[in-house]
Amino acid sequence: MNPSKPTTVENSAVASHTTRESLTVTDNRTGRQYELPIKHGTIRAMDLRQIRVDEGDFGLMSYDPAFTNTASCISRITFIDGEKGILRYRGYPIEELAEKSTFLETAYLILYGELPTRAQLDDWTFHITHHTFIHESIKKFLDGFHYDAHPMGMLVSTVAALSTFYPDAKDIFNEESRRKQTRRLIGKMPTLAAFAYRHSLGMPFVYPDNDLSYPGNFLNMLFRTTELKYKPNAALERALDVLFILHADHEQNCSANAMRNVGSSHVDPYSAIAAATAALYGPLHGGANEAVLRMLMEIGSVNKVPEYIKRVKAGEKKLMGFGHRIYKNYDPRAKIIKRIAYEVFDVMGRNPLLDIALECERIALEDEYFVTRRLYPNVDFYTGMIYQAMGFPVTMFPVLFAIPRTAGWIAQWEEMLLDPEQKIARPRQVYLGHDQRSYIPVEHRGE
C-alpha cells in the first residue's frame, strides 16, 4: 500500500463538504487543520506525526493499549465480522469448510490462499505424513521433564528445541526453506503433543502411523496400547478433524500477534511458534474451555443454574464460555461445535455436564442481561466437554488448540515476512516516569 501524502490546511476553513476519502483534524492547541487520507477505513498512525505544537515537538501519536482499535497489518487470510457472526478463511465460510473439507486441506488453503487441486492435496498430504517423526534426541529431551509437567510447557519447549535440529530454518527468505519448515511444523506438532501426553501418563511413546489420516494418527499416538494396528473410531476422527478446522486461524488474536511480533525480528519459525504457543498457554486465550468445565462442575446440577445466573447478573461471577471481544453475535464456531458435541457423546456417552450447559445457554439467550450485552456462547463453551468426553485431561485442552493453529501462525508469519511494509515490530510508549535525576550512593539513601 502506498498512501498518498497528507496535506496540512493551516488556519483556513476546510474545503466545503464533499465526499472525500479523508479525515480533517483540528489541533485546538494551535488552530491548525490537517487532512489525513482514509484508506480501507483507516488513517495511518504515522500521518498523525506531522501534528505538532512547534518544531521541537515529537508529533502526535495514538495511544491504544491492547490494540483494541489498531490494525497492525494488511491481511488476506481470515475475515471475521463479529457483528454478524461471520468467519471465513480465504473467503470460504467456516460452515462450508467444517462440513466439506479436512483439516489438511484447510491448512493448505490458509497457507497458500487457494483450495488445492487433487494432485496438490495428495502431494501436501504425503509430505505432512512423512514429516511426523521427531529426532530421537527430542524424545530424550521429553524424558527429562518431571512426570507431572504441563503438556503445554513441554510443547513450548520442544518446539523451540526443534530450531536447534534444523539450522536451515534460519534461511527465512528462502521459499523452499519456508516450505520445508512448514511441512515439518504441521507434521511434528501432533507428535510432540502426543509424546508430551504419553510422558505425563508414564506410558511409552507411540510412533506415527503413515497409513492413518492426520487426526487418526494423532489419536493413534495418544491412545494406542497393545493393539498391533490402531483403528481410530471414524466419528471421533472426523470430530477431531472438524475441531482442528475450526481452530486453524482467527486473524490477529494474541498468539497470531505474538507470532508476527517475534517473527518480525527474523528469528527462525520454530522459535516464533514457541512464542505463539506460549501466548496460547494463557487462561485468557487458550485456557477458557478449561474454565467452562470448572464452572459447570461448580454449578453441579441443572436446578442450580438459575441461582448461578443470578450471581452472574449480580457481578459476582462470569458465565464462562459466553461473550467475545469481536463476536457480538453467536460465534459461528460454537454452532458447529454444539453439533459435534452430540456426535461425540453418541460414541463416548453423554457428558453429564451437557445438561447444565444447555440450561445455562437456554436461560442466557432469553435473559435481558445477556441479550442487551450481546453475550452469546463462544468457541470454548462446548469444546471442553467434547475433549473431556474423548478422554483428554484438561491440561491437554490448549495443546489441542495449538496443533491446528500452527497452520494459521505460519500463514500469518509468512504474510508478515513478505509484506514490504512490515519491519521489526516496535511500539512507542507514553513515558510518565521520573524526569532526569542524579544517582545517590547507597549509604546516602536513608531508609
Annotated catalytic residues are 285, 324, 380
Closest approach of ligand ACO to the CB of residue 409, in Å? 15
In terms of CB distance, is 39 or 313 closer to ligand ACO?
313
Judge whether 390 and 283 are in contact, CB under 8 Å: no
Closest approach of ligand ACO to the CB of residue 282, in Å? 10
Residue 92, C-alpha cell as written in the block: 470460504
C-alpha neighbours within 13 Å on the C-beta side of residue 401: 29
In terms of CB distance, is 32 or 333 closer to ligand ACO?
333
Burial 384-397 (b: 16+ CB within 10 A, else e): bbbbbbbebeebbb
In terms of CB distance, is 231 or 373 closer to ligand ACO?
373
What is the DSSP-derived secondary structure letter of residue 433? Answer: S
User: DSSP letters of 366-378?
Assistant: H-HHHHHTT--B-
Closest approach of ligand ACO to the CB of residue 380, in Å? 5
Residues 444 and 447: their CA atoms lie apart, in Å, by 9
In terms of CB distance, is 372 or 438 closer to ligand ACO?
372
Residues 115 and 22: their CA atoms lie apart, in Å, by 37
Closest approach of ligand ACO to the CB of residue 289, in Å? 8
Judge whether 106 and 121 are in contact, CB under 8 Å: no
Residue 289, C-alpha cell as written in the block: 474451555
Cα angle 303-306-308, degrees, rounded to a multiple of 5: 100
In terms of CB distance, is 134 or 312 closer to ligand ACO?
312
Closest approach of ligand ACO to the CB of residue 389, in Å? 19
In terms of CB distance, is 380 or 415 closer to ligand ACO?
380
What is the DSSP-derived secondary structure letter of residue 358? Answer: H
**Parallel/antiparallel/unpaired status of strands 7-9 and 32-37:** antiparallel
- Residue nearest ligand ACO by beta-carbon distance: 323
Binding site for ligand ACO (CB under 6 A): 285, 288, 312, 318-325, 373, 375, 378-380
CA distances from 78 to 2, 43, 179, 407, 411 (A): 23, 21, 20, 12, 10
Closest approach of ligand ACO to the CB of residue 327, in Å? 8
Judge whether 289 and 283 are in contact, CB under 8 Å: no
Closest approach of ligand ACO to the CB of residue 243, in Å? 13
Judge whether 333 and 379 are in contact, CB under 8 Å: yes
The number of helices, as runs of H, and strands, as runs of E, in the chain is 17, 6
In terms of CB distance, is 220 or 255 closer to ligand ACO?
255
C-alpha neighbours within 13 Å on the C-beta side of residue 366: 6
Instruction: Give 92's contacts (C-beta < 8 A, 6+ positions apart).
Output: 109, 115
